[in-house]
A and B are shown apart, each in its own frame.
Chain A
Amino acid sequence: MSNLKIKVISRNPEDYLRSTKRDIHKIPRNYDPSLHPLEGPREYVRALNAVKLERVFAKPFLGSLDGHSDGVSSLGKHPSRLSVLASGAFDGEIRIWDLTSRKCTRNFIAHEGWVRAICYTPNGQQFMSVGDDKTIKTWKAEIQDPDDEDPVNTLLSMSVVSGISHHRAKPIFATCGEHCQLWENTRSEPIKVFQWGVDSLHHVAFNQVETNLLAACASDRSVILYDFRESGPLRKVVMELRSNALSWNPMEAYIFTVANEDYNLYTFDIRKLRQPVNVHVDHTSAVIDVDYAPTGREFVAGSYDKTVRIFESLKGHSRDVYHTKRMQRLTCVKWTLDNKYILTGSDEMNIRMWKARASEKLGVLKPRERTALNYSEALKEKFSGHPQIKRIARHRHVPKHILNAQKELRTIKEKNKRKEGNKRSHSKPGSVPFVPERKKHVVKEDE
């Protein structure tokens, strides 16, 4: 037996055990699939656990900013500072908040009657507010001495002003009321007035990418587009019911979303206003306000049904719904510029802070934590089509009044569908055409 060669597995424990107690454990890995049997079912169970944990950790409410003595009418985001928020109330008071400490840093009576809208200037040093007293006031964002408390500039408008929006870069801002007016900071008269019809406008918004464009919602159920280089309005689209608010997509310059009185939101492409790109349903009452996330992928909508809903901009149904027992009708919503939080103002004098992703963990993640979360995220996506997992991921508890309203709306929809079907089957073929949902809600487009 001269050429006998034997090798037997013989492990030195030192290679597999940690040398000291303070060391980490040695974890040798072997990715051979035969050592990891039942890959499919195990991944499925992990995905199921991950999706359950997601629902367990879904606690989006962070806190409320308490202080206003009347309902909150408007909110204004600071363009460069995440912790600053301005809010106006129905009693004419404006409060400036520090969001990190959740405290009010400054408050003053700005207008007689409502504060209709607030907006910061692009450099963030001033903010403007419009009120029911037909004034447009400019304030200093930060006060060094007591004189700064007074408005820097007060413009008197001839007519009621109900909305304000500032240009992205130039010292120009637009207000709306009876007409859409363009102002320059230094002048006391509007530099341009756009008129189309006689009805009043209640919301105006500058496009932040294609900065020459602006759009306004009118109470004659129309949404009007303007180019401020032109002398007149560009186009308008008339809906079945009036739109309450409008928000431009910050990533796609030609897309905007309107919050409508008919419980839906409509996303339009300005190149083709005849038909909305998407109809976002799910609210059970009029949608009051809408704001896009800075990524342009999602937007938040606040409604008269006391809920906030988050929509993905390409999908027709909401991704999430936020509500609390004490939150009343929503008046304004904002998505913060770090894409992490949502701020909502409501009728009952509170401003609420929510997480934008309900189950997200706040704060710094350790690398292992992050990889674990990424892994579970990937698993959730992989098994998202499974009935069990889909059911858990989709389920949201909503208050009874919402549930009942949803049921009612569903029955109404079914009824209409059935009725139309009956009509169709009993009339001449082709005389009752199929009208897609997207075309139903737009009356006409004017140029």
Chain B
Amino acid sequence: MENQPSRNKTKRYFDTAPEKDEKTQNKNENVKVYTVKSTAKLLKIQKYKEQNLNRRKKAFINNNKIKKNFPNKAPIDPKKLELHSRGEGFTGQGVLHPLHLLKLKKREKKFKYAQEQAARADILLTEGQGYLEVDEDNRTTSINQKVIADNVDITAATKIFELNLDFGPYNAKYSRNGRHLLLGGKKGHLAAFDWVTKKLHFEINVMESIHDMSWLHVETMVAAAQKEWLYIYDNTGTEIHCVKKLDKILKMEFLPYHFLLATVNEYGFMSWLDISIGEIVGHYNNNMGRTSVMTQNPYNATVCLGNPKGVVSMWSPSSKKPLAKILCHKTPLTAVAVDNRGMYMATSGVDRSLKIWDIRNLDGPLQHYKLRSAPVHLEFSQKEMLAVALGNNVEVYSDCCITTTEKPYLRHRMAKEISNFKFCPFEDVLGIGTTGGFTSIIVPGSGEPNFDALESNPFQNKKQRKEAEVKALLEKIPAELITLNPFEVMEVDVPSMQDRMEARNSLLYLKPRNIDFTPKHKKKGKTNIARKKIIKDAARKKFINQSIEAKKILKQPEEDKNSKPKQSFGVLDRFVSKPKVKK
């Protein structure tokens, strides 16, 4: 039974009788055959050898016989690759176990592949960035809006327009997809419209002063900070909420991914209102005095506040104190702006200086400019152009962060005083709110030409907007995750783990302190040894009591979980069974 030779049976390693080998030996007699016991290592070496041979063969073919234009994948521009990089990769050091090393290396390969793919996908982008070029003996500043309007196509030329309004000075804000514009006049005029088609959504006068206003997550809702409270209107101008928790607001910023409306009021209180649930998630006095210089850092959703002493502070709703503070100017600040990537911050003071800072490394200003007058407002565009409001002039600087620029890129002079301005997202447009209305000018090359439709889509219809709203609400980031480093949540929590263990150990396994036996005043009647013993015993008792209490504290949360809030039945309470007391 056991030795039955079955012909169809697959061969196993333990079956002795190497018939097949002999056959092959006979067939090719001129080939030397070595009988080598194959091990995993040998097999691996063999595999590598074969691979190398094949590669060499292929390379040979490529070089000599077939000359292709693109033998391999097209090379990627290192700059683009750098753009999509998620930081320095894993080098392979410090990992003890080879298996983990292998796993991490595999993961690293995947990251690299993803980065390459993202860089390669740039070829699919349809639109090109705007620009303005003149010959060498001219300056770009000499090009005014009229020249630009004459030299661009008609649809683009319609983006230069002016609105003369009577309830100024006006604030202007674009919605996140750059399609809608909100205008708020100090004297109570509030208007929202699709500025591309010039279709008016609503126009009302709230009959109070308006200090600031903001779009909420969709273009159907706007918030306006009026004389007393914060009001929320829908796209027909109907008041839908009056938020009396927020009063006398000076400035506000909407954080779209957190659904938070960050505000600062006259008394120096910062508040964050979660507009999806209508609750205030943070309400702190900033202790910096009255200030209306405020902006958000889009990179990490912190709020930057400039104060009259020249200090810029960064705030998150989870901490009562600012996350970071920096003295930027020795004079009161007039404006703060942060660029889209969260790299640079521009500040200006009444001393007519403009400083550019690297936010992630607040060592010293990267650039320090002296201007003709103190800027009223600063604003970064999506492509890192900086607009500066100087009285009734707007100057736009390009490349002013890393390199020191001598001249502005564009200059626009107006007859009215500027109150604020905003770059329109995904357009080469700067919208300026002035004392006498609103002016829209073209700044070529300021906007991002290619939008991501899943993030913000200027062409979205109602249905898409509704869907995007639901998705955005599902992905609402909790307010606690606002930190200086937004990638903190993806990092390993090593120090805090260490801290926790140390704290726990220090509570549980505290060493009794050394006791000083030398008494301050000699007491008669007791020997030194007895006194020593008394002091020692007292200290030991104290220590034991301490450690017992520490243990109690450590155990407490578990017990708290078990005890549920009791339901009261009034008089019938005595029939409720009492929980057993554990000994």
Contacts and interface: CB of A to CB of B under 8 A. Distances in A.
Interface of A: 1-11, 13, 15-17, 25-46, 49, 191, 210, 229-230, 385-386
B564 to A, nearest CB: 16
A4 B151 contact: yes
B332 interface: no
Given A29-B454, A33-B83, A3 B135 contact: yes
A9 B1 contact: no
Contacts of A30: 125, 448, 450-452
Contacts of B453: 25-29
A29 B2 CA distance: 67
Nearest to B255: A38
28 contacts: A1-B134, A1-B147, A7-B130, A7-B132, A9-B129, A10-B152, A11-B458, A15-B126, A16-B458, A16-B459, A28-B451, A28-B452, A31-B84, A31-B121, A31-B122, A32-B452, A33-B83, A33-B86, A35-B451, A36-B452, A36-B455, A38-B257, A38-B477, A38-B486, A40-B489, A42-B475, A49-B474, A386-B489
Contacts of B57: none
Contact of A28 (B126, B487, B490): B126
A141 to B, nearest CB: 24
B280 interface: no
Interface string B280-316: 0000000000000000001111000000000000000
A37 B490 contact: no
B133 A5 contact: yes
B455 A4 contact: no
Interface residues of B, number: 71
Contact of A25 (B86, B442, B464, B476): B464
Given A27-B454, A44-B490, A9 B133 contact: no
Given A1-B143, A32-B448, A45-B476, 14 more contacts: A6-B131, A6-B444, A7-B129, A7-B130, A7-B131, A8-B159, A16-B459, A25-B453, A26-B453, A28-B451, A32-B83, A33-B341, A35-B455, A46-B475
B447 interface: yes
Contacts of A41: 257, 477, 481, 486, 489
A14 to B, nearest CB: 10
Contacts of A35: 448, 451-452, 455
B74 to A, nearest CB: 17
A40 B475 contact: no
Given A15-B126, A191-B1, A38 B428 contact: no
B134 A29 contact: no
Nearest to A3: B135
A426 B58 CA distance: 72
Interface string B153-180: 1011001000000000000000000000
Contacts of B134: 1, 3-5
Interface in B314-352: 340-342
A7 B148 CA distance: 9
Q: Say what secondary structure dominates the interface of chain A.
A: loop
Given A5-B132, A6-B152, A37-B257, A13 B121 contact: no
B365 interface: no
Contact of B148 (A6, A9, A10, A385): A6
B88 to A, nearest CB: 15
A5 B147 CA distance: 11
Interface of B: 1-2, 12, 83-84, 86, 118, 121-122, 124-135, 138, 143, 147-148, 151-153, 155-156, 159, 257, 298-301, 340-342, 382, 426-428, 442, 444-445, 447-455, 457-459, 464, 474-478, 481, 486-490, 492
Contacts of B382: 34
A35 B477 CA distance: 17
B34 to A, nearest CB: 29
Contacts, number: 152
Given A30-B125, A30-B450, A40 B487 contact: yes
A377 to B, nearest CB: 14
Contacts of A2: 135
A261 to B, nearest CB: 32
Nearest to B481: A41
Nearest to B424: A9
A7 B128 contact: yes
B480 to A, nearest CB: 10
A184 to B, nearest CB: 9
Contact of A4 (B1, B133, B340): B133
Contact of A29 (B341, B452, B489): B452
Given A1-B147, A49-B475, A8 B130 contact: yes
Contact of A9 (B83, B130, B151, B474): B130
Nearest to B134: A4
Nearest to B138: A1
Contacts of A230: 2
A9 B138 contact: no
Contacts of A43: 490
A229 B3 CA distance: 8
The 3 closest A-B pairs by CB, nearest first: A3-B135, A229-B2, A10-B156
A27 B298 CA distance: 23
A10 B478 CA distance: 37
Nearest to A231: B2
A35 B426 CA distance: 11
A269 to B, nearest CB: 17
A16 B340 CA distance: 24
Contacts of A6: 130-133, 143, 148, 151-152, 444
A210 B14 CA distance: 11
Given A8-B444, A44-B490, A31 B118 contact: yes
A75 to B, nearest CB: 30
Nearest to A46: B475
A25 B475 CA distance: 22
A292 B381 CA distance: 61
Nearest to B135: A3
A37 B456 CA distance: 12
A307 B122 CA distance: 54
A263 B371 CA distance: 80
A19 to B, nearest CB: 13
Contacts of B125: 30
B454 A40 contact: no
B180 to A, nearest CB: 16
Contacts of B457: 27
Contacts of B340: 34, 37
Contacts of A29: 121, 124, 452-454
A191 B2 CA distance: 12
Nearest to A28: B453
B341 A34 contact: yes
A42 B126 contact: no
Nearest to B136: A3
Q: Which of A40, A230, A385 has the most CB of B within 10 A?
A: A40
B488 A40 contact: yes
A9 B426 contact: yes
Nearest to B153: A10
A30 B450 CA distance: 6
A40 B450 contact: no
A16 B151 CA distance: 24
B477 to A, nearest CB: 4
A212 to B, nearest CB: 9
Given A6-B132, A34-B341, A42 B452 contact: no
